[in-house]
Structure 1
Amino acid sequence: MHLKTPNIDPEKINALRGHMIAGGLILILTLLRIFVRFKTASPNPVTTSNAFLDKVAALVHLLLNLLVLVMAGSGIALALGAELPDIVFGGSGQPLPMNFQDFPARAVHGIVSKLLIALILLHIAGAIYHQVILKDKLMKRMWFGKR
C-alpha cells in the first residue's frame, strides 16, 4: 500500500495508523498460520503431474510467508527509525519526517511489496489453474470440515 498523502498533511497520521495496524494484524495472522502449520498434520502436497510446477508451488508458498515476515520487519524498522510509534500512536506532536525515502528500510518495504503482489497474483493463478483446468477440487480441500 503506497500512501500518496504528503507527510505534511494532517491526515497522513491517520493513514499511517491504519496502515500500521493492518500490517501488525497481518504479521500476527501470518505468525499464527506458520505456528499452526507446524503444529498440525498437513495433507499430502497436491501435484499437478508436472515436476516444475510442483516445485514452483512449493517455492511460492514458502516465499509468501517469508516475504510477509520481511515486509513486516522492514515496516517495523522504518517505523522505529522514523519514530512513528510516538508520533502516530503516542500523540507526541512531533512532525513526520519530510520523506520516508530517506530511510533504508523504506526501500526494502517498497521492493518487497511489489514482490508480494507478484507472488499473490501467481498464487491466485495457481488456484484458478487447479480449479478450472485440473478440476482437482483444490479449493474444497482447503476449506473447513470434511474434505
Structure 2
Amino acid sequence: MTRYHPILVVLHWLLALMVLGALIGGAFSLDPIPEDSPDKIGVLRLHMIFGLSILALMVVRLVVRLRTPHPAPADIGNEALNQVAPWLHWMFYALVFGLAASGILMSVEAGLGDIVFGGAPGPVPELDTLRPRAGHGLLALALALLIAGHIGAAIYHQAVRRDGIMRRMGFGRG
C-alpha cells in the first residue's frame, strides 16, 4: 500500500485548511479585537464554530486512521528522525485535541455559549484573565511550529530526497 485511505486524504487537506484558518483567525482577527467591541462576538462565534468543527473532524480522522490500512512509515534517511517522525505525527492529534479542550474550558468558564450564540446579552468577558487562555495560546503556538516543520519536511522529501512522499496524501491508484 502506497497511499492513505481516500477519506484520510480528504480529511488531511480539509483539516489543514481549517486548522490554518483557525490559527490565523485566532491570532490576527480575534486577539486584536477588544472584548467590548461589538465585532468580537461575531468573530468569536466563527472561531468557536470552526474549532468545534475541527474537533469533530479530528475525531472522525482518528477513527478512520485507526481502522484503515496505511503505508509504512517513510524513510527519512536518518534513523533518529525515523524514530521521532511517528511521534510528531501523533502530536498533531494531541495539540488539536488540547486546543479544543482549552477552548471549551474557556467557553464554559466565561459563559461564552450563551453570549456568543444569542442566549444572554452582554459583552465578552476579558478572555486573557481566564485560566485556560494561556494554555490555549501556547498550544496554538506549538501547533503552528509543528505545522511549519511538517511543511518543511514535505518540501525536503519532495525537493531534496525526491521520494514522492506527497503522493501518499494524494488521490490516484497505488
**Shared fold (TM-score greater than 0.5)?**
yes
Q: Deviations over 1:66-121 (max 9, x none)?
A: 10000000000001110001000134113221x21111110110010000000000
Give 1:54's aligned amino acid: N
Residue 71 in structure 1 maps to residue 90 in structure 2: no
Q: Distance in 1 between matches of 2:145 and 2:131?
A: 22
Tell me, in whole angstroms, the C-alpha distance in 2 between the residues paired with 1:115 and 1:55.
20
Match in the other structure for 1:55: 83
RMSD of the alignment, in Å? 1.1
Q: Which runs of 5+ in 2 are unaligned?
A: 1-25
How high is the TM-score relative to the length of structure 2? 0.80
1:9 lines up with 2:19 in the alignment: no
1:34-77: CA deviation from partner (whole Å, max 9, x where unpaired)? 11000111111111221122123212101111100000000000
Map of 2:156 onto structure 1:
129
Which ranges of structure 1 fall in alignment gaps of 5 or more residues?
A: none
- The equivalent of 1:32 in structure 2 is 60
Q: Which moved more, 1:87-96 or 1:110-119?
A: 87-96
How far does the alpha carbon of each residue in 1:6-50 deviate from its partner, in whole angstroms, 9 at most, with x for none? 010001000100110111111111111111000111111111221
Using the TM superposition, give the Cα deviation of residue 131 of structure 1 relative to its aligned residue in structure 2, in angstroms.
0.6
In structure 1, distance between residues paired with 2:118 and 2:82: 47
Between the aligned residues of both structures, percent identity stands at 42
Q: Which whole-Å CA distance do the structure 2 matches of 1:25 and 1:93 have between them?
A: 25
Q: Decide which moves more: 74-83 or 46-55.
A: 46-55
- TM-score with structure 1 length normalisation? 0.95
How far apart are the structure 2 equivalents of 1:29 and 1:144?
19
How far apart are the structure 2 equivalents of 1:90 and 1:23? 18
Partner residue of 2:115 out of 57, 80, 87:
87
Question: SS at 2:93's partner residue?
Answer: helix
Aligned pair count?
146
Q: Does 1:23 align with 2:48?
A: no
* SS of aligned partner of 1:46: coil
CA–CA distance in structure 1, aligned partners of residues 77 and 33 of structure 2: 48
Query: Is the partner of 2:150 in helix, strand or coil?
Result: helix
Aligned equivalents of 1:6, 1:141: Cα separation in 2? 43
